[in-house]
Chain A
Amino acid sequence: MTTKRKQKPDVVNQYTGNSWAYSKEVREHFFKPKNLLWENPKSATKYDAQGIVGSPACGDVMRVWLKIDGKKDKITDFKWRTFGCASAIAATSMLSVMVTEKDGMGIEKALKIRPQDIIKRLHGLPDRKIHCSVLGDKALRAALNDWFKKTGQFDRVIVEGTRIIDPNTKVTEADIEEAVLEGATTLEAVQKKTKVGIGYPECIHTVEELIRFYREKYFGPDSK
């Protein structure tokens, strides 16, 4: 299987003629981050929920603070801090905009945000940087888990990676990630390991997307 890489055009600076490795949107969110938590909250109750993912050793850490309207089951405010490169900072900033625009986002909808959705809104990232933005949605889910636990909605708590891809075989996203890490980088190889989609072909497209995503994440954009 050969994947043709789309060459993303560099953005040319209108004043300098210099090209930049990132899109205009990434640039904007990197240099002027939106919804950043500038000051530490004075009282512990100022925000309804908090979440943190990543590790300083990995080079990316994201921390998220949320205000939630419990009655409407909606996120009304999203503040964040990020340790990481330009795309990590821009991706968290963009996520905060996505969640808070139009009077906030319903929790169910917010739980479904995927890294690809953030990347799309950023008008793409350099191929090798795609892994960076993965953390934004995970930090958000971590914060929502915090909310679910605080409000006793234990049935809604999501253990990361347990999203079931194939209801027949109960194969989860984490199973696909693990299979790719073990070297199964094609649909056939992943099916051999997990039997995903064999009785439920509707999920094949999602599986292929995940394989490509994790393959590029762990083995680089040129991997096959």
Chain B
Amino acid sequence: MWYPLEIMSKSGAYFDNASTTPVRPEVLRAMMPYFRERYGNPSNLYTYGREAKQAIFESTAKIAKALNCMPGEIVFTGSATEADNLALAGVARANRDKGNRIIISGVEHKGIVAVGEALKKDGFEVISIPVGKDGLVDLDILKKELNDKTILVSVTMADSETGTLQPIREISEIIGDLYGPTATSPSSARRSVSHSASSRSTLVAASTVEVAVGHSREYPLFHTDASQAAAYANIDVRKLGVDLMTISAHKLGGPKGVGALFVRKGVNINPIIHGGGQQGRLRSGTENVPAIVGFGVAMELNRKENKSESARIKKLRDRLEKGIFKTIPKVVLNGHSSKRLPNFCNISILDIEGEALLLHLDEHRIMINTGSACNSESLEPSYVLSALGNPYEFIHGSIRFTLGKTTAAKDVEYVLAHLPAIVEELRRISPLDLSLDQKSRMSDPKAFIGNQTPHFLRKKKSGTSH
């Protein structure tokens, strides 16, 4: 199980593409000149500055093409988390006079959940819509929770743990029909406002004009976090009917440290970072030029390969999943079996703990992730998997395989060759013998040996003092 360094650096089966992906060679090549040669600050008028500005302009155009939006509707951020923060906090603060209700889903990324918590302290009402056992947002509850105080709805396109795809278009239509059916469909009337001016500076001001038409049609706005979905799903913002959308470069072969928020022209939004007024005042701070260049190339490659890659990855994922279910007893699939990103496979292997499995797999150079409490900084089991109605016993044994551009058939075979033996060994260490059909009763407090309450539940009960 010990490999010399030379072998290790080359081999290794990486199955954590939902965490991050390697930068693609084409992307890296495109980025390189912007570190040493064309290092100018895009805010400056002289040659170097103009070169950098031009690079951003071209990159923005590539991303706009992938999203089917105008370049002026893209704002670069330092991460998807920042884009999520900008979407929620920026919209909330700019539209306080229109209402104070924000609706999110129960499977959002922490970037949404945490900013929602912060907004609650500012007097906003943040409602979380539960998901069903299949991982899909409950649309009936969503409909009930929508009211005239609602200024924003944010539902992830695909959550980062199970990759379950939410019905974004359908949600957009529900929101559009909120105040009675309109003569035109929401995507044509409400969403694609004007394609004329593309200047970013009009972004903030434009909204006031539209509000005059009638306040009701404009709100709630609709945001989706497509960080995970962008590599494999349709991210045409007009077709989806979204007002705001988060994307991230490093989830699709781009560099870390750059995300972007699509902000439909006309959306009233405030910046959350203040300074020199870059990017139409919506995101101050010198643009990360090399990363933005890399982002553009990654998006362009992704747009071209999206379909064929999706098919290739799905085949590999299905082979992996079927292989696991065939060779290992007592395994449960987490998330939706079909409405799911093609690169996600999240399963719970009963009787063993995710972190222990992660480390054993790592010894074989297989890199996966887990929703187990032990693996998280907070020592709490995955709230996304909890939201699906899974008992904690299942979540502790959850592991997530996420495939990517660099995943090959041999990687899948390699996993299938090693995983069953590792699971068997860990099950021999474990004193448990849970059964699949116990699912509903298991987390009943009475089932706890020694009447112990899990530490993560105890903490919640009284954890306000620190």
Selected contact of B356 from candidates A30, A81, A128, CB within 8 Å: A30
Selected contact of B391 from candidates A57, A81, A86, CB within 8 Å: A57
Query: Which residue of B is nearest A84, CB measured?
Result: B353
Check A17–B5 contact: CB distance below 8 A.
yes
Check A59–B374 contact: CB distance below 8 A.
yes
Check B379–A219 contact: CB distance below 8 A.
no
A98 to B341 Cα, complex, angstroms: 49
Q: Is A62 interfacial (CB 8 A cutoff)?
A: yes
Check A83–B352 contact: CB distance below 8 A.
yes
Check B372–A59 contact: CB distance below 8 A.
yes
Q: Is A185 interfacial (CB 8 A cutoff)?
A: yes
B3, B379, B465: which has the most chain A beta carbons within 10 Å? Answer: B465
Check A59–B432 contact: CB distance below 8 A.
no
Q: How far does the Cβ of B79 sit from chain A's closest Cβ, in whole Å?
A: 22
Question: Interface digits, A174-189 against B, CB 8 Å rule (1 contact, 0 not)?
Answer: 0000000111110000
Q: How far does the Cβ of B423 sit from chain A's closest Cβ, in whole Å?
A: 13
Question: Interface digits, A29-69 against B, CB 8 Å rule (1 contact, 0 not)?
Answer: 01101001010000000000000111111111111000000
B5, B359, B378, B434: which has the most chain A beta carbons within 10 Å? Answer: B359
B355, B360, B381: which has the most chain A beta carbons within 10 Å? Answer: B355
Contacts of B295 in A (CB 8 A): none
Contacts of A200 in B (CB 8 A): none
Check A83–B463 contact: CB distance below 8 A.
no
Check B355–A81 contact: CB distance below 8 A.
no
A36 to B351 Cα, complex, angstroms: 16
Q: How far does the Cβ of A1 sit from chain B's closest Cβ, in whole Å?
A: 12
Contacts of B392 in A (CB 8 A): 56-59
Q: Is A224 interfacial (CB 8 A cutoff)?
A: yes
Q: Is B337 interfacial (CB 8 A cutoff)?
A: no
Check A57–B4 contact: CB distance below 8 A.
no
Contacts of A160 in B (CB 8 A): 450
User: With contacts A218-B458, A219-B463 known, is A58 near B429, CB below 8 A?
Assistant: no
B: which residues have CB within 8 A of A? 1-5, 8, 351-356, 359-360, 363, 372-375, 377-379, 381, 391-393, 396, 428-432, 434, 442-443, 447-450, 452-455, 458-459, 461-466
A: which residues have CB within 8 A of B? 15-18, 30-31, 33, 36, 38, 52-63, 81-89, 128-129, 131-132, 142, 160, 181-185, 215, 217-220, 223-224
Q: Known A-B contacts: A16-B8, A56-B393, A83-B430. Give 14 more (CB < 8 A).
A: A38-B428, A52-B431, A55-B447, A55-B452, A57-B391, A57-B448, A59-B372, A59-B396, A81-B430, A85-B354, A88-B374, A181-B462, A218-B455, A220-B378
